Amino acid sequence: MNTPIAVAVSGGIDSLVAAHLLKEEGHALFAVHFTTGFEPPAGLPAAALPDVGALQEMARRLGIALYRVDLTREFKREVVDYVAGTYLAGATPNPCLVCNPRIKFGALLQWAGQKGARSLATGHYARVRRDADGRCRLYKGADPHKDQSYFLARLGQEQLQRAVFPLGGLTKAQVRAWAQRHRLAPAVSEESQDICFIRGGRYPEVLALPASPGRIEDVHGNLLGEHQGLHRFTIGQRRGINRPAARPYYVVRLDRERNRLVVGSKEDLLAPACRVTGINWVLAPPEAARRVATRVRYRTREVPATLTPIDERSARVAFDAPQSALTPGQAAVFYDGDEVLGSGFIAAPGE
């Protein structure tokens, strides 16, 4: 019996081509589209979100069933509450790294399994390979401009065993060419963005986080003014400080204990190291210090560093060259060449 694969479809070209590739390979499939409760009201334009009719037509053309799954409650608990709590703790959240293991390869994969699917396919640009011991290893996608391994670095072995990434070996240009050649029309006109549930605003405004005014100080402790809530700022931010100076101010630190916004020059953002906690290791954690390439933001390249374990889930990362705007709450993902070793959350820069 050909056990089906569930394909998570957003309505975009990537998930559409992923489904078509699997169909061409002869796999039994069904499509799943999940809702989060952050979809716009009916009748409002949303170029990056599909309507039900467009998704159904897309599935019909593929010759597969489409199921819509309401994950509003799970999304609120696992992602929205995490985002709000992280901001209120004076850190900057990274919702995609939480959504992938807890929602897509968590609640959605569980739902698909109850429908008989052995695995879940998505349109991510990443690759999974099994080694001689049967363990799954996670690698970058073949397209360096679209690689999304950073956002998948918190998947565990059980999730990777059931993950399918048909686009991992393709470039975006090849995906577009495939869609054109096979006359595949996506159900949306824009690509989805990393921040999938915040449209037309910022986290603090959309989530209505409470304001708590406090002092704005420079790195020497001089009072410069008053802020209207630390959750409105993130490390490295320049806009919104509104303090005239000969050189622009940047957010250097969010002092949650004293409710202070600490600002300084661009040079003040540099740090030689950081502490990383809550690490998810794809395989076993290292027992001693080792060399890694570390990416501290999705849209930056990884840089050489030395990782020294503190315990199984935390480490000190010392960079070969000081890094700018190391942001508590953001993810640090560790690589060995194209292979993802693990990822954790930056807890404190400079340590």
Q: Do 155 and 246 belong together in one domain?
A: no
CATH number (domain holding residue 322) = 2.40.30.10
Q: Do 59 and 129 belong together in one domain?
A: yes
Tally of CB atoms within 10 A around 229: 17
Q: What share of the chain is helix, strand, coil (3-state, %, to 5)?
A: 25, 30, 45
Q: Which of 80-94, 172-186, 282-296 has the lowest mean pLDDT?
A: 80-94
Q: What is the distance between the alpha carbons of residues 294 and 85, in angstroms, rounded to a whole number?
A: 26
Q: Do 244 and 165 belong together in one domain?
A: no
CATH number (domain holding residue 38) = 3.40.50.620
Residue of higher predicted confidence among 188 and 311? 311
* Cα 348–chain centre separation: 20
Q: Do 44 and 92 belong together in one domain?
A: yes
Percentage of the chain surpassing pLDDT 90? 74
Q: Do 9 and 50 belong together in one domain?
A: yes
From start to end of 23-122, where are the E strands? Answer: 29-35, 65-70, 119-121
* Cα 232–chain centre separation: 20
* Cα 77–chain centre separation: 17
* Cα 8–chain centre separation: 16
Residue closest to 344 by CA, chosen among 300, 274, 278, 273: 278
Over the stretch 285-308, which tens digit does the pLDDT of each residue have? 999 999 999 999 998 999 999 999
- Kind and range of the H or E run holding 318: strand 314-324
Q: Do 177 and 214 belong together in one domain?
A: no
Q: Do 118 and 220 belong together in one domain?
A: no
What is the rounded average pLDDT of the residues 219-227? 95
Residue 20 has pLDDT above 90, yes or no: yes
- Provide the number of structural domains found in the chain: 3
Tally of CB atoms within 10 A around 239: 8
Q: Do 27 and 56 belong together in one domain?
A: yes
Q: Which of 78-92, 258-272, 311-325, 334-348 has the lowest mean pLDDT?
A: 78-92
Q: Do 26 and 131 belong together in one domain?
A: yes
Residue whose tokens read 């630190």: 253
Rounded to two decimals, the pTM is: 0.90
Which of the listed residues 131, 160, 181 is the one where a domain comes to its end? 181
Instruction: Judge whether 217 lies within some domain.
Output: yes
- Torsions phi, psi of 347, nearest 5? -100, -40
- Residue 204: helix, strand or coil by DSSP? helix
CATH number (domain holding residue 252) = 2.30.30.280
Residue 45 has pLDDT above 80, yes or no: no
Q: Do 162 and 259 belong together in one domain?
A: no
Tally of CB atoms within 10 A around 63: 8
Strand order, beta sheet including 260-264:
223-227, 214-218, 260-264, 250-255
Give 291: exposed, middle or buried? Use CB within 10 Å, 0-12, 13-18, 19+: exposed
Instruction: Judge whether 198 lies within some domain.
Output: no
Instruction: Judge whether 157 lies within some domain.
Output: yes
Instruction: Judge whether 152 lies within some domain.
Output: yes
Which of the listed residues 265, 284, 299 is the one where a domain comes to its end? 265
Instruction: Please give the positions annotated as active site.
Output: 99, 196
Q: What is the distance between the alpha carbons of residues 237 and 247, in angstroms, rounded to a whole number?
A: 14
Strand order, beta sheet including 65-70:
65-70, 29-35, 5-8, 119-121, 163-164
Q: Which domain holds residue 113?
A: 5-181
Over the stretch 248-289, which tens digit does the pLDDT of each residue have? 999 999 998 899 999 999 999 999 999 999 999 999 999 999
